[in-house]
Amino acid sequence: MRGEFVGPACGHHGPYIPDVLFWSVILFFTTFFLSSFLKQFKTKLYFPTKVRSTISDFAVFLTIMIMVLVDYLVGIPSPKLNVPDRFQVRTVTSEFPLVWGFKLFNLKKKSK
């Protein structure tokens, strides 16, 4: 009864990583509620008005920075956005199949 996982999809180095979905849900809801709390921070009586106003104005930015730091410190390999190292313009027709549909059903006016 001491089974072992076999194959490339099993184990900690495969495509399945445990707890990633749960961690992503926790990050999502914590970000939402922390941002909402900091946005309403303007009406609290904790700090002077200028500090409360600044915290409320930068609530979303502060929340994102805090949650990125928490995600980094916890160490669960949650999915990240892959940003290209350079910007390049691509042709629209090769990237979007919807454009192909418009080209197939070209609705130009018929010449008389």
Q: Quick one: pLDDT at residue 35?
A: 92
* For residue 111, pLDDT beyond 70: no
**pTM (predicted TM-score):** 0.59
Structure tokens at 89: 């313009």
Nearest alpha carbon to residue 60 among 32, 80, 79: 32
| 11-15, 67-71, 99-103, range with the lowest pLDDT | 99-103
Helix axes 49-57, 20-39, angle to 10 degrees: 140
Q: What is the pLDDT of residues 37-86, one digit of tens each?
A: 988 888 888 888 898 888 888 999 999 999 999 999 988 888 888 888 88
Read out DSSP for 58-70? THHHHHHHHHHHH
